[in-house]
Structure formats: C-alpha cells, structure tokens
Amino acid sequence: MTRKYFGTDGIRGRVGDYPITPDFVLKLGWAAGKVLAGGNGGKVVIGKDTRISGYMFESALEAGLSAAGLDVLLLGPMPTPAIAYLTRTLHCKAGIVISASHNPYDDNGIKFFSAQGSKLADDIEHAIEAQMDQTMVCNPSAHLGKVRRVKDAEGRYIEFCKSSIPYATDFKGMKLIVDCAHGATYQVAPSVFRELGAQVSTLGTQPDGLNINELCGSTHPALLQEKVLAEKADLGIALDGDGDRLIMVDHTGELVDGDELLYIIAQARRQESGFNSGVVGTLMSNLGLEHALQRDNIPFLRAGVGDRYVMELLNQQNWLLGGESSGHIICLDRTTTGDGLIAALQVLEAMVKSGKSLFELRQGMKKYPQVLINVRMDQRIDIKANASIQQALKLAEADLADTGRVLLRPSGTEPLVRVMVEGQEASRVQAVAEQLADVVKRQVVAA
C-alpha cells in the first residue's frame, strides 16, 4: 500500500507547508494515540531537536495525544536514538520524535518508535493514516491524558551510552573535538566523552532555534577538520541535528565516513568471541567496503537507501551490523536503532583495544572514487519514465562497463535526485557523473 503521509523516515517537510502544520500535527497526535493505545490508555514519550518550530509541534502533539486519552512524557531536546531507548525503559506505548534530522531549521518532521524502540511497522503507519481520515473526537474530561516532564532523561541516556562499551574502558589521554551541529546532542554528547576520561573541545553547542546543522555537524564537517588540525586532536566527531548520524575526522584532518566506520566496527566485532554477523550496507555504500569485508570473509548485502531498509534486511538475515555512507550506523548488539553516539563509542573502543589511531584503523579499507551530485527537483518528475534520463543512464553504465557502477535515485527525505557514480578512475567517474547530472537538470527544468 502507498503511504499518504509517511515517507521512509516519518513525515517531513517545510514548516507551514502541509502537512507540517500545527493543525495536521494536532490530529496526527490524536490519530496515533487512538491506534497505538487501542482505547486502553498508556504513555507516550515526546522528544525533539533544537529547531524553533519544535515548541509548536510539541504542544500540538501533546494536545492530540491527551485528547485520545494517552499520558505524555516530555523529554525536551534529546537525540532521536535516546527517545528510542527511553520509550523502552519507560515502558511506553510509543516514542515520538520532532525532528528533520540533517535538514535546515525551517524544515521539521514527526517520526515514531514502537514500544520496543524500533521504527513503526508499515501496517501501523497505514492504520494511523486511515485514522486521520476520521473526525477527531476528544475524550471526556475524566479520560484525558496527563502530561509531565521527565527531568532525568539526559542522565538516563548518558549512562546507557556509557554501558555500550566495557566498564573498564576509558579514553584517558585522548583529545577529541565534538561537533553537535547545534542540535539535540549539544548537552549529552560532550558529557558522555568527558565522563569516560577524554579531553573534549566542542563545536555546535549553542543552539538558538535557527542554527541547527548550519555549516556544522556531519553534513558540513569543514570547520571540524580545521579545528582537529589546529588543536592537534586525536580525532573529531561530527553528529547531525538529531544525533543519529556520525562522521569522524582522523588526526590528519581527513574525513572518515559511514562506510569506513562500519568497516572499523565490523573488524573489531570479528575479534569478539562468538560474534557471527554479516554487514548490511546500501546501494550507496562504497564498493571498497564490500571488497574489504569479502577479503575478511564477512558477508555483505546491500539494502535500499534509508536506515529503515537497512534495519529490515538486518532483521531478515538475523545480523547485527549495518549502516550508510552518510553515517547512520546500526549496532543491534548494543541498541535498537541507528545511534551516532553509540557508534562513536564503538570506534573509540576499537582504538583503545588495538592501540591504533583512527587513521591506522581505516587503512584496511580502500575507498573507490565516488562522486555524488544532488540535483534539486522543485517539481518532481518520474526519472524511470523519462526517456532522456534513462538513455543517459545507459550510456553512463556502458562507459564504465565493469570498472564501476552508477546509481540514480530520488531522495526519500528531500526534493532531490541523487546521481552517484563510482569507479576505479577518479577523472572518469567525475566526468560521467557530471554528464548524467546535466541531463537530469535539463529534464527537471523542462518539466
């Protein structure tokens, strides 16, 4: 069934444009409450990132859920994975996150976690959408939900993160730069690393509601790279606005992306007694990751783009590790969803155990040159049905033959067409990507 509102990662869009409006979110809270509680009441947690519209949507969700008879626990600004964790430990019916992740401040979105701390099943999302078509009816006053704030949410999550590595592990002597993207991790992330013994300098820890992800965090790591070099730090850690993405910077100032981080964690897990798991990447994962894992006899499969699809394939295979080049890393042996802080701790633990730097650990994987060009699509077109685009795609694939690969797909979260070309020769890859992207741009303009 086609979803009417839900995308690959909840409901997302520009604030004030339908459906990211207060009236829609009010009814969404009510509809979700009716479906999730089934008339039996219960609790729901709500957390958010730091964008200014979060206050408005928090109030709307709170009212809708209360009208449906559910109690609401407000967490305030907290990372998305923290909300998944607290949904479980507070024994709630569901968790709701108000965030547009790595998007600019004038976007926002709503996503849900089940009582188990995982993404909602498709049938639950369909049921919520069906309930949205019904007339909203408020419960009688005696059966309205109550609302309270959880005052120790940060401390609970900090302790959970620390518990993801062995108790005796500490990072004393490490100098870290942590970029929180002026987002949801701005309080918890520095505390986690400091409490584990690291010397921490920070970037992106002064949110004002408008600066989330602005030239900082995992999507804009240039400032972090400069600071790592300037302060002679051991490494840099870049999170995104809601804390579920991670990019790192080694001591030479070079970026270490999600593919390389996944490789490092997989290598570390392989040393653990009894660990037996393949790795799930996506269609965007670098071919170098696949080849490096194959060399070490670690099975590798590709899912569709989006952590939702990585999770689905992990569950199908009964595997524990997966992730995306963008920095979504899922360690199901540690938590239930992608978590930037948990992933960073696994990498730091691997450094401590091996006695190697991040630069040294990444050397086991050789990345193929890869070019990604995002073509803005203000008016959506069907790229599969466009003859000119498909012809250009065939020519690009023929040009590379067996020396690389081409991927052309619309983004699931933004109005973009992503043109990805990968191969052994950097100059050839760049030329093929630019030629294909130019054709896509012309067709988008013509539409």
Which fold does the domain 370-446 belong to in CATH?
A: TATA-Binding Protein (3.30.310)
Question: How far apart are alpha carbons 244 and 75 in whole angstroms?
Answer: 17
Cα–Cα distance between 237 and 256 in angstroms, integer? 10
pLDDT score, position 410: 87
pLDDT attached to residue 254: 98
Q: For residue 1, what pLDDT is reported?
A: 59
CA-only gyration radius of the chain, Å: 22
pLDDT of residue 109: 98
In the chain, ranges of CATH 3.40.120.10 domains? 11-151, 157-364
Q: Report pLDDT digits (tens) over 375-434.
A: 998 877 889 999 999 999 999 999 988 778 899 988 876 889 999 999 988 999 999 999
**Which stretches of the chain drop beneath a pLDDT of 50?**
none
CA 430 to chain centre: 27
pLDDT given at position 40: 82
**Alpha-carbon span 148 to 71, nearest angstrom:** 8
Whether 175 and 198 have beta carbons less than 8 Å apart is answered as: yes
Taking only the tens place, the pLDDT of each residue in 238-251 is 999 999 999 999 99
Q: Transcribe 77-122 into DSSP letters.
A: E--HHHHHHHHHHTT-SEEEEE--TTS-TTEEEEEEE-TTSSBPPH
List phi, psi (to 5°) of 325: -55, -30
| pLDDT computed for residue 380 by the predictor | 79
Give the C-alpha separation, 245 to 207, whole Å.
Answer: 18
The pLDDT of residue 9 is: 84
Residues catalogued as catalytic: 101
CATH top class, domain 157-364: alpha beta
DSSP E strand stretches across 127-259: 147-149, 175-179, 199-203, 235-239, 246-249, 255-256
76: phi > 0 → left, psi -120 to 50 → alpha, else beta; which? Answer: left
Question: 10 in the Ramachandran plot: left (φ > 0), alpha (ψ -120 to 50) or beta?
Answer: left
Q: What's the burial of 372, exposed, middle or buried (CB within 10 Å: 0-12/13-18/19+)?
A: middle
Predicted local distance difference test score (pLDDT) of residue 358: 98
Q: Is 230 helix (H, G, I), strand (E, B) or coil?
A: helix
Question: What confidence score (pLDDT) does residue 2 get?
Answer: 72
Distant-in-sequence, close-in-space partners of 394: CB < 8 Å, separation ≥ 6: none
| Domain boundaries 11-151, corresponding CATH code | 3.40.120.10
pLDDT at 446: 83
Stated pTM of the model:
0.90
Q: CB–CB of 185/239 below 8 Å? A: yes
* Cα-based distances in Å from 47 to 38, 81, 112, 234, 372: 22, 10, 10, 32, 32
CB 282 within 8 A of CB 309: yes
Residue with tokens 């970037």: 203
Residues of the chain with CATH 3.30.310.50: 370-446
